[in-house]
Amino acid sequence: MATTIRLGEIAHARSGDKGNHANIGVIAYTEAGNEFLDRWLTEARMAEFLLPLRPREVSRYALPGIKAYNFVATEILDGGASRSLRIDSQGKTLALAVLEMRISPPKNIDEMRKPKTRNPVS
Amino acid sequence: MSVIRIGNGAGFWGDNLDAPQLLVETGQLDYLTLEYLAELTMSILAHQKSRDADAGYVTDFPVVLESLVPALKSQSHLTIVTNAGGMNPSACAAKVAEILSAARMDDVLIAAVSGDDLLPSLDEHLAAGETFNHFETDAPLAELRQQTLSANAYLGAAGIVEALSVGARIVITGRVADASLTVGPAVHEFGWSWDDWNRLAAATVAGHLIECGAQACGGMYSDWTEDISLSDVGYPIAELSDDGSLIITKPEGSGGVVNTGTLAEQLIYEIGDPQHYLTPDVDADFSNVELSQEGADRVRVAGARGNPHPEAFKVSLSYRDGYMVSGTLVICGPNATAKARRCGEMILERVKRAGHELSRTNIECLGAGDSLPRIALADNEPWEVVLRITAYDASREAVDRLSRELAPLVTSGPPGVTGYTGGRPKPRPVAAYWPTTIARNKVSPTVETKPASEWN
């Protein structure tokens, strides 16, 4: 069986709510990773991943300046912050789950991982 | 080129009370913004105001302001812009005036910016043909009018600019777009015209990046590690120039981190189509924003573009919609997850036997992956899980019955039921959210600016 890796090895993410909709922004660490996301992390794939939560629609938007894709999943929060019966009524944990999606590492995987020198910590 | 430093010391009502003081003491700010209003905060404040005409504002703010008195005295240019006014900006201003007068700061000008509250005029608007259709479903408000708790237009920066232009040092608004708290000071300082869309977009990006406080500085960051100290996390500062160029940073010596990663995550936080981040001030395009690290905890933000603002104001309306309750028990032992689920079902069976049909219920086994059911997966069967049971119904009695059925399970359920220490969970009335719009020409801000000595 081919080894798979976490999506989180080539991207980071943040999610949140807008009423009953959630958005999940997935940000590639590198340009190569961004090209991979463009091909692999399609609307259809994200919709399939989120299927257990029954979104009405999943749309994808590109933010090339930050190497990111924003996914908007409508009516996915069981009514949203005020009416939802779920513990995560605001979709804040969706990003972490998305980063656990499994990918078969492409040939140029080493060009996609987080560069060690990036993002200095003060 | 002139530069202003705008720091945001609160991202929601309930945020760290010490953050604003630390930010002004170490941030060399020109402006401190404090953002308190989430989508449904207004319905809570409306409820408070309906019981007490002097209530209905964010009560954290006077507490924070008290801590800022020394800074207001020693930093003559420091100006505060906040939406703490909620449903009652003038009552909030009066409370702030009391604090400033007690501190012998009688001359400080305090402004209350209102006009966003549509509840008093809702029937007039309906009679004039506004139907307040739901943003997404397009359904008209119609009979939900009778259950409406609050209705507030998201105003833009104009009222804030008006208050600053007459010298207000503390500007207290009701519902304004979060980013407008930052756009207001920028327009006032730089004299931008209201159709300078690219610059308005730059200030809007700045406001968006700092509006959630610590989330720009390492809070919620996917790449958080122990190396990033969050217990003393700094709050964000936008250095905005008159040409619209922008740096995001944080106070020197504070915890957390500002890097292209934290800001990329925050840029995308709670947005829809990045080409149309709509505020009352501008239709901002975030899609080509670029981030570059200029030094430790300093990131340049460039590339925001703006288009003319939308022709309608967004309106956040809430209406009364039944009752909810949520309670927890801890279920321990072998097969904890299955047992917890069965315990949840027993509770519901008992409510049913008592003659109540709950219209919506949810059983969650927290610890077993139920925070994202059938998506998040726990690797091993846990020894204990938190059973969380939640229900909604139009009837308060039905919901109340559920809250009474948790404790009995400790003695009358399977072995291993514990953790009933918080007492009986309290049913709460639900304020449902109805996002809608109103024509721009039907709403305008009203600004009242007076010295502290004249507010009471």
Of A16, A68, A81, the CB nearest to B264: A68
Contact A61 B431 (CB under 8 A): no
Residue A27 contacts B, CB cutoff 8 Å: yes
Number of domains in chain B: 2
In a domain, B88, yes or no: yes
Range of the domain at B333: 317-431
In a domain, B145, yes or no: no
Residues B266 and B367 occupy one common structural domain: no
Measured between CA atoms, the residue of chain B closest to residue A77 is B372
- Please report the ipTM that was assigned to this predicted complex: 0.96
Q: Domains in chain A and their CATH numbers?
A: 5-103 (3.30.70)
Residues B273 and B402 occupy one common structural domain: no
Contact B268 A14 (CB under 8 A): yes
Residue of B249, B270, B289, B320 for testing the chain A interface, max A β-carbons within 10 Å = B270
Residues B301 and B339 occupy one common structural domain: no
Of B281, B310, B339, which marks where a domain is finished? Answer: B310
Residues B172 and B46 occupy one common structural domain: yes
CB within 8 Å of chain B, chain A residues 44-63? 49-50, 52-53, 59, 61-63
Contact A85 B293 (CB under 8 A): no
In a domain, B32, yes or no: yes
Print pLDDT tens along chain B (456 aa). 699 999 999 999 999 999 999 999 999 999 999 999 987 899 899 999 999 999 999 999 999 999 999 999 999 999 999 999 999 999 999 999 999 999 999 999 999 999 999 999 999 999 999 999 998 889 999 999 999 999 999 999 999 999 999 999 999 999 999 999 999 999 999 999 999 999 999 999 999 999 999 999 999 999 999 999 999 999 999 999 999 999 999 999 999 999 999 999 999 999 999 999 999 999 999 999 999 999 999 999 999 999 999 999 999 999 999 999 999 999 999 999 999 999 999 999 999 999 999 999 999 999 999 999 888 776 789 999 999 999 999 999 999 999 999 999 999 999 999 998 778 999 999 999 999 999 999 999 999 999 999 999
Of B310, B343, B367, which marks where a domain is finished? Answer: B310
In a domain, B137, yes or no: no
Three-state secondary structure readout of chain B: CCEEEEEECCCCCCCCCCHHHHHHHHCCCCEEEECCCCCCHHHHHHHHHHHCCCCCCCCHHHHHHHHHHHHHHHCCCCEEEECCCCCCHHHHHHHHHHHHHHCCCCCCEEEEEECCECHHHHHHHHHCCCCCCCCCCCCCCHHHHHHEEEEEECECCHHHHHHHHCCCCEEEECCECCCHHHHHHHHHHHCCCCCCHHHHHHHHHHHHHHCCHHHHCCCCCCCCCCCCCCCCECCCEEEEECCCCEEEECCCCCECCCCHHHHHHHHHCCCCCCCCEECCCCEEECCCCEEEEEECCEEEEECCEEECCCCEEEEEEEEEEEEEEEEEEEEECCCHHHHHHHHHHHHHHHHHHCCCCCCEEEEEEECCCCCCCCCCCCCCCCCEEEEEEEEEECCHHHHHHHHHCCCHHHHHCCCCEECCCCCCCCCEEEEEEEEEEEEHHHCCCEEEEEEHHHCC
Measured between CA atoms, the residue of chain A closest to residue B393 is A83
In a domain, B357, yes or no: yes
